[in-house]
Each structure stands twice: as structure tokens, then as C-alpha cells.
């Protein structure tokens, strides 16, 4: 089928109309590539699925700038974080299968979650209950006392710990690239370097404008990561929510520290309502060791450096003055936590000391190289409360994913299968009986419900 019709418009720029597009997906991170993978695998006409990404390649933002863990689901409340708890449980086996299929690294290297004082033990017991409720077996998840933990990791200081063997290390950037090759081979249309600038809705569906293309689509999926809230707002969706951005920074450990532990070491969060605040000792899929991430408040989803952060400051402050974020700024606890995160950004010693509490041998002076940094966009409701789970909102013929934070990369395949299945159920695509993907999205969607 011919879907690109080119025509010259008056100012001599080439404008391309992508006609007959049934579903347009905005955002080529790990979630957008996973959704495009499933939809084009199931579609009778895969070229009627279009994936738009503003950058020159997929997954250049959060999906490549994270800790790279396939998280075991013991950290997620099966009620308050139901979607992520289910998705993490399923995500593990799906990424493992996909990595075998693509010959990509998947290191089942395990994690130790440590309590460094007696207060943390109650939290570990809660994690054990959550882990069991989320399907981890007694062999996969063990509560250890101080001596047992010391036998496993002699250089770690703690009062007790959970050892989980079903936790992996991967490269989600590489996974997203592999998905991109798959969805292209299925026939999905990929438009890289196309930032969506305007969206309008009429009787024929959506008209989506990038710098030089006008795309018409019957169904729109907004998975634009840190930009997804702004896109939802321009479409009149999620007006009761806003977002705040936090930059997670890392420091690379010198080679002399690589043998300090076999496992990644996480510590029980000091403030369970903000579980993303405590930096870890990380074992990466390629063997590197790192400390991080912290969570420094910044003004935009791409504020990796101070220039961009400064440029985003005024618009974000104006926006925040009329939303639930205003209440957060007057919250004493939030302000004190934010200033301690800022301190750990400005001072390497402050950052490394947070991990030194449970790995006493590391010295700040030995860390000379910063790692990458990635930005999470947390959603706040109009009472000023952080929303705990991801939000999937369907309006008219559009679907918006907001608050897609950790363990979003772990859960990307099952959540994408679930979303693809919803879109197919809505009748947006004619489908084939036998999909081209490794899984039937509808079977995975059923498992997400169960
Ligand atoms: C510091 C940190 C550590 C983390 N560690 C882990 C971990 O160990 N394990 C785990 O499971 N999860 C982890 N996460 C969470 C995980 O990385 C995210 O949930 C996931 O990557 C989000 O994927 P995404 O596709 O929604 O977003 P993104 O990767 O941000 O992708 C969105 C895409 O949309 C594009 N886009 C935006 N606006 C437009 C537009 N207007 N037009 C076209 N394209 C647009 C962007 O360029 C981007 O490529 C971590 C997150 C952070 C911040």
C-alpha cells in the first residue's frame, strides 16, 4: 500500500502527508517501541502503524539513562502499585526470552536489599509479604540475618537483608534498538527526528503536525515520557494532574572497587513515600560498578545540564504556581529532602557517603568520573500528593501514559502488550490471527489481569 504522498507546499518546504495511518504513537522510548512492536506484529497492515520520535534515534532519554535493572517485584505494593507489581513479575520472563532471541546480555545477577538499622527490618518483612503476593517463590526471595548477609557479601554492613536471586541487569537502550529493528521488519513506519508540535482533532480523527509532516491518524498513543503530561494537557486530558522532574545522577566506581560485591546493593528507603531517593551500589550488565541515582529537582525533562535547567525554570515555575505542585513547594519535609538531594548533586562526598553507610570501604576521593544521568517525571495530583502508580488514561480515540517511572523499563513489554490489546479491542486496527511477535499481546493482557 502506498502511504506516503509528497507535495510541495507554498513556502517550498517538502510536506509529507502520511495518509491511511490508523495508529500514531508519539515517543520512541522503551515503552513506545514496545507498543509499536506489538501493534505492528498484530496488524493486518503494519504500515498503518506510525511511530514518531523527536530524536535521531530511539531511546536517547530515560530509556538509556537508567540503572538497567530488571527489578524483581518485591519492592511493589500489590495494591497501591498494582500495575507495576504485575508488570515487573511478567517483565522478567519476557525480557529474558527476548534477550535470548536477540543474543543480548541479560545477567541474572541478583540483588541484596539491606536494612542498616533496626527500623529497616519491619520494612524488609513488608517486602517479603509483597514479594510473595507478587509471585516470587521462597527459593527466589530470602530474608537473611546479619550473619547470613555477611556470608553472602562480607564487605556489606547491615543488620538484616533480603536476598533476591531473580533480579537482572540489562541495557534497555540496546533492547529498544532491537525492538526498533523488529518493528521496522514487520512493516511499521518509523519517523525519527520528528517532534510532534501540534495535534488537532476533527471528524476524520487526529491531525498531527511535526516540523515538516502532517500525519492523519484515527487513534493516537501518547507515550512521550517527560513530555507526555504537556501533550495530554494540550489535548485537554489529565488537567487535574501536573508533573515535577527529578534528575538521577551516578558516579562510576574505580576498577579497584569492582570486586567489593558480586550483587547490586540497595538499601531500605529512609522515606518509603519517596522510594527513589536512596542511591544504590549498582552492578551493571557490562560489569561496571556505579553509585546512584540521587533525585535532584530540575525544571524540565531534558535538564541534564545547568543551561537547559535554567531555560526551563521560568515556564515551569509559572505553571507550578497554579497546580498541585504549589502545595509540594510548601511542604517542609519535601523541601528538606530536596535540599539534601541538591547537596548530593553539588558534593560528590555527600553522594558517596550515602552508600558508604552500607559499603564502608568506598572512599569519595576514589570516584573521579561521573556516570550518565536520567530524569524521572513524577505526577502530582491537585491536592499536592505524589501519584504512586502509572496512569493510563483513555479519552476519545487516544491513550496517554503518565507517571511512567521505575520499574517502567522492566514492565515495558507486558504494559505495551496490554495497551496494544486495548487498542485492538477498541477496533482501531484490523488484525491477523498469528502475530509476528514472540508473544500474542492478548495472552499477555489476560495475564496482566489475572
Ligand atoms: C535515574 C533512573 C533510573 C531508573 N532505573 C530503572 C531500572 O533500573 N529499571 C527499570 O525498570 N526502570 C528504571 N527507570 C525507569 C525507566 O527508565 C522508565 O520508566 C522508562 O525508561 C520510561 O520509558 P518511556 O518510553 O516512557 O520514556 P522515554 O525513554 O523518556 O521515551 C519517551 C520518548 O518520547 C520522545 N518524545 C518526547 N516528546 C516528543 C514529541 N513531542 N514528539 C516526538 N517524540 C517525543 C522522547 O524523545 C523520548 O525518546 C529509571 C528511571 C530513572 C530516571
**C-alpha cell recorded at residue 95:** 525480557
Measured in angstroms, how far is the CA atom of residue 441 from the centroid of ligand 1?
22
Query: Using a 6 Å cutoff on CB, does residue 69 contact ligand 1?
Result: yes
Of 62-66, 107-111, 260-264, 446-450, the range with the lowest mean pLDDT is 446-450
Alpha-carbon distances, residue 279 vs 73, 107, 116, 246, 293 (angstroms): 19, 21, 14, 13, 5
- The angle that helices 412-425 and 30-42 make with each other, rounded to 10 degrees, is 40
**Residues 6 or more apart from 103 whose CB is under 8 A from it?**
none
Question: Which residue(s) pair with 7 in the sheet?
Answer: 15
HSE of 1, CA atoms in CB hemisphere, 13 A: 14
Ligand 1 atom closest to Cα of residue 194: 43
The confidence score (pLDDT) of residue 19 equals: 53
Parallel, antiparallel, or unpaired: how do β-strands 189-192 and 49-53 relate? parallel
The confidence score (pLDDT) of residue 395 equals: 92
Query: Using a 6 Å cutoff on CB, does residue 414 contact ligand 1?
Result: no
Indicate the average pLDDT of the chain.
92
Residue 3 confidence class, pLDDT cut points 50, 70, 90? very low
Residue 61's Cβ-count burial label (10 Å; 0-12, 13-18, 19+) is buried
Query: Using a 6 Å cutoff on CB, does residue 31 contact ligand 1?
Result: yes
Residue nearest to atom 13 of ligand 1 (CA): 406
**C-alpha cell recorded at residue 208:** 498531527
The confidence score (pLDDT) of residue 29 equals: 98
**C-alpha cell recorded at residue 281:** 551500589
Question: Which residue(s) pair with 115 in the sheet?
Answer: 160
What tens digit of pLDDT does each residue of 268-310 get? 988 777 767 789 999 999 999 999 999 999 999 999 999 999 9
Q: What is the mean pLDDT of residues 196-201?
A: 96
Max CA distance (Å), the chain? 76
Pocket test for ligand 1, best of 246, 408, 414 (most atoms within 8 A of CB): 408
Higher pLDDT, 277 or 406: 406
In words, the CATH class of domain 4-62+173-240+390-449 is alpha beta
> What are the DSSP calls for 8-43, one per residue?
E-TTS-EEEEEEEEEEEEE--SHHHHHHHHHHHHHB
Q: Would you tell me how many other CB atoms lie within 10 Å of the CB of residue 105?
A: 14
DSSP 3-state assignment of 366?
Answer: helix
Q: Where does CATH 3.50.50.60 sit in the chain?
A: 4-62+173-240+390-449
Query: Using a 6 Å cutoff on CB, does residue 85 contact ligand 1?
Result: no
pTM of the model: 0.94
Query: Using a 6 Å cutoff on CB, does residue 87 contact ligand 1?
Result: no
Cα–Cα dist 265/283, whole Å = 8
Residue 11 confidence class, pLDDT cut points 50, 70, 90? very low
Measured in angstroms, how far is the CA atom of residue 315 from the centroid of ligand 1?
22
In words, the CATH class of domain 107-168+243-381 is alpha beta
Q: Would you tell me how many other CB atoms lie within 10 Å of the CB of residue 197?
A: 11
What tens digit of pLDDT does each residue of 345-392 get? 889 999 999 999 999 999 999 999 999 999 999 999 999 999 989 999
Measured in angstroms, how far is the CA atom of residue 61 from the centroid of ligand 1?
6
Q: Where does CATH 3.30.9.10 sit in the chain?
A: 107-168+243-381
Q: Report the candidate in 232, 234, 202, 274 with the shortest Cα–Cα distance to residue 392.
A: 232
Query: Using a 6 Å cutoff on CB, does residue 324 contact ligand 1?
Result: no
Burial state string for 284-298 with b = 16 or more CB within 10 A and e = fewer than 16: bbeebbbbbbbbbbb
- Phi then psi for residue 415, to 5 deg, are -70, -40
Query: Using a 6 Å cutoff on CB, does residue 63 contact ligand 1?
Result: yes
Is-contact 249 370, C-beta < 8 A? yes
Residue 5's Cβ-count burial label (10 Å; 0-12, 13-18, 19+) is exposed
**C-alpha cell recorded at residue 237:** 486530558
What tens digit of pLDDT does each residue of 116-167 get? 998 899 999 999 999 999 999 999 999 999 999 999 999 999 999 999 999 9
Amino acid at each position: 500500500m502506498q502511504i506516503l504522498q509528497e507535495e510541495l507546499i507554498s513556502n517550498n518546504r517538502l510536506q509529507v502527508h502520511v495518509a491511511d495511518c490508523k495508529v500514531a504513537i508519539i515517543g520512541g522510548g522503551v515503552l513506545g517501541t514496545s507498543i509499536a512492536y506489538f501493534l505492528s506484529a498484530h496488524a493486518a497492515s503494519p504500515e498503518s502503524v506510525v511511530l514518531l520520535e523527536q530524536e535521531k534515534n530511539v531511546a536517547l532519554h530515560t530509556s538509556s539513562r537508567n540503572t538497567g535493572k530488571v527489578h524483581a517485584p518485591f519492592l511493589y505494593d500489590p495494591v497501591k502499585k498494582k500495575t507495576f507489581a504485575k508488570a515487573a513479575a511478567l517483565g522478567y520472563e519476557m525480557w529474558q526470552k527476548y534477550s535470548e532471541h536477540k543474543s543480548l546480555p541479560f545477567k541474572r545477577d541478583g540483588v541484596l536489599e539491606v536494612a542498616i538499622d533496626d527500623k529497616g527490618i519491619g520494612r524488609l518483612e513488608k517486602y517479603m509479604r509483597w514479594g510473595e503476593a507478587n509471585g516470587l517463590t521462597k527459593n527466589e526471595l530470602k530474608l537473611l540475618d546479619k550473619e547470613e548477609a555477611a556470608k553472602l557479601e562480607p564487605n556489606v554492613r547491615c543488620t538484616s537483608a533480603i536476598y533476591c536471586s531473580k533480579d537482572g541487569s540489562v541495557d534497555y537502550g540496546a533492547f529498544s534498538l532491537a525492538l526498533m529493528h523488529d518493528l521496522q521488519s514487520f512493516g511499521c513506519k518509523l519517523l525519527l527526528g520528528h517532534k510532534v508540535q501540534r495535534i488537532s482533532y476533527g471528524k476524520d480523527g487526529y491531525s498531527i503536525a511535526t516540523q515538516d509532516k502532517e500525519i492523519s491518524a484515527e487513534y493516537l498513543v501518547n507515550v512521550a515520557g517527560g513530555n507526555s503530561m504537556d501533550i495530554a494537557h494540550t489535548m485537554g486530558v489529565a488537567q487535574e494532574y501536573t508533573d515535577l522532574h527529578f534528575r538521577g545522577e551516578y558516579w562510576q566506581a574505580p576498577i579497584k572497587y569492582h570486586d567489593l560485591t558480586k550483587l547490586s546493593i540497595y538499601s531500605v528507603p529512609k522515606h518509603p513515600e519517596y522510594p527513589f531517593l536512596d542511591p544504590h551500589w549498582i552492578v551493571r550488565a557490562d560489569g561496571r560498578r556505579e553509585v546512584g541515582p540521587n533525585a535532584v529537582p530540575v525544571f524540565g525533562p531534558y535538564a541534564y545540564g545547568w543551561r537547559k535547567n535554567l531555560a526551563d525554570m521560568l515556564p515551569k515555575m509559572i505553571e507550578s504556581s497554579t497546580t498541585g505542585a504549589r502545595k509540594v513547594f510548601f511542604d517542609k519535609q519535601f523541601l528538606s529532602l530536596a535540599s539534601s538531594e541538591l547537596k548530593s548533586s553539588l558534593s560528590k562526598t555527600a553522594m558517596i557517603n550515602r552508600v558508604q553507610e552500607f559499603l564502608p570501604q568506598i572512599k569519595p576521593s576514589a570516584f573521579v568520573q561521573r556516570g550518565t544521568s536520567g530524569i524521572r517525571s513524577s505526577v502530582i495530583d491537585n491536592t499536592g500528593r505524589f501519584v504512586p502508580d502509572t496512569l493510563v488514561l483513555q479519552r476519545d480515540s487516544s491513550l496517554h501514559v503518565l507517571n511512567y517511572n521505575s520499574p517502567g523499563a522492566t514492565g515495558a513489554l507486558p504494559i505495551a502488550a496490554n495497551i496494544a490489546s486495548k487498542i485492538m479491542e477498541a477496533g482501531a486496527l484490523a488484525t491477523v490471527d498469528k502475530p509476528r511477535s514472540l508473544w500474542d499481546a492478548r495472552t499477555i493482557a489476560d495475564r496482566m489481569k489475572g
